[in-house]
């Protein structure tokens, strides 16, 4: 008697084979992972090119269905460490523009001293937690323990691509609060490739802001152009939201979300 296997079942098996091979493969030791991370970072810096990224930011109170502010900015990078930006569109509360400017000012400052926040033994103690898939990519999961209390360091986890040892995601809280007005600043930063450029593709920052309450600031990259300005993104018109009191407390909420 012949036994037939449905085509769908065969396809499912084929899809599962790479994951099965990954689960059965021998993991690298932590020291080897860190060494390959440094090699990948050095290669990335050597191949760095000038680019302009168009990025959209949205600010909202936690749980809100619509953002109170939307901002589009163009960020220019010239190797090895020069960054500047321009806010090209804003909509909604003026608070959003002020927050985005603070974020991008901080991002530009961080670019001039990357050694102070990179994933290296200078800044972190590491532990290997295991392996996990992120967006279809097999990753090593590392525990991050900052060696000093600094706003630019994260206490949490990092996902390192097991194929090319690039950083895919960071998730955790800042080792030091950026302001007395801020509590529990939690960050999720995703990295990927756009138009041949490896960069942060999206971020999410959640914080309890004194006198204002929980707020969420998100960003996502819309376009990347090599050594050229990106096209502007048009939003549909929307009424402007009224200004809130204690504006400076909300501005401080996003003093650091970029890396």
Taking the C-alpha atoms of residue 178 and residue 89, their distance in angstroms, rounded to an integer, is 26
Q: How many residues does the chain have?
A: 259
At 120 the three-state DSSP class reads: coil
| Residue bearing tokens 């589009």 | 72
**Has residue 85 got a pLDDT over 50?**
yes
Does pLDDT of 40 surpass 90? yes
Residue 3 has pLDDT above 60, yes or no: no
What is the mean pLDDT of the segment spanning 83-87? 96
User: Taken in order 181, 156, 104, 70, is the CA torsion positive or negative?
Assistant: negative
The region of weakest confidence among 56-60, 79-83, 129-133, 220-224 is: 79-83
Q: Which residue has the higher pLDDT, 171 or 48?
A: 171
CATH top-level class for 29-253?
mainly beta
Q: Do 72 and 88 contact (CB within 8 A), yes or no? A: yes
For the chain, the domains span 29-253
The pTM of the full predicted model, rounded to 2 decimals, is 0.79
pLDDT in tens, 210-219: 878 899 999 9
Own/partner contacts of 172-180, CB < 8 Å, gap of 24 or more, are 172/144, 174/256, 175/146, 175/148, 175/149, 175/150, 175/151, 176/149, 176/150, 176/151, 177/151, 178/151, 178/252, 178/255, 178/256, 179/252, 179/253, 179/255, 180/210
Residue 210 is predicted with a pLDDT of 81
Place of tokens 């909604």: 92
């Amino acid at each position: 008697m012949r036994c037939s296997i449905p085509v769908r079942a065969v396809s499912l098996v084929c899809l599962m084979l790479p994951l099965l091979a990954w689960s059965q493969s021998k993991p690298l030791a932590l020291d080897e992972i860190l060494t390959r991370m440094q090699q990948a970072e050095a290669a990335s810096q050597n191949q760095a090119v000038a680019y302009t990224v168009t990025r959209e930011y949205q600010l909202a109170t936690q749980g809100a269905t619509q953002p109170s502010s939307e901002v589009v900015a163009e960020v220019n990078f010239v190797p090895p460490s020069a960054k500047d930006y321009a806010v090209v569109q804003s909509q909604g509360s003026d608070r959003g523009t002020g927050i985005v400017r603070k974020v991008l000012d901080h991002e530009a400052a961080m670019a001039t001293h990357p050694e102070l926040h990179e994933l290296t033994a200078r800044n972190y103690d590491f532990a290997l937690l295991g392996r996990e898939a992120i967006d279809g990519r097999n990753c090593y999961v590392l525990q991050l323990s900052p060696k000093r209390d600094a706003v630019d360091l994260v206490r949490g986890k990092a996902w390192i691509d097991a194929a090319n040892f690039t950083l895919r995601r960071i998730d955790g809280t800042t080792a030091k609060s950026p302001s007395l007005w801020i509590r529990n600043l939690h960050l999720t930063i995703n990295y990927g490739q756009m138009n041949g450029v490896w960069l942060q593709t999206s971020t999410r920052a959640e914080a309890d802001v004194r006198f204002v309450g929980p707020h969420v600031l998100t960003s996502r990259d819309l376009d990347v152009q090599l050594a050229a300005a990106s096209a502007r993104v048009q939003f549909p018109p929307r009424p402007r939201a009224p200004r809130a009191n204690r504006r400076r407390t909300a501005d401080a909420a996003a003093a650091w979300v970029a890396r």
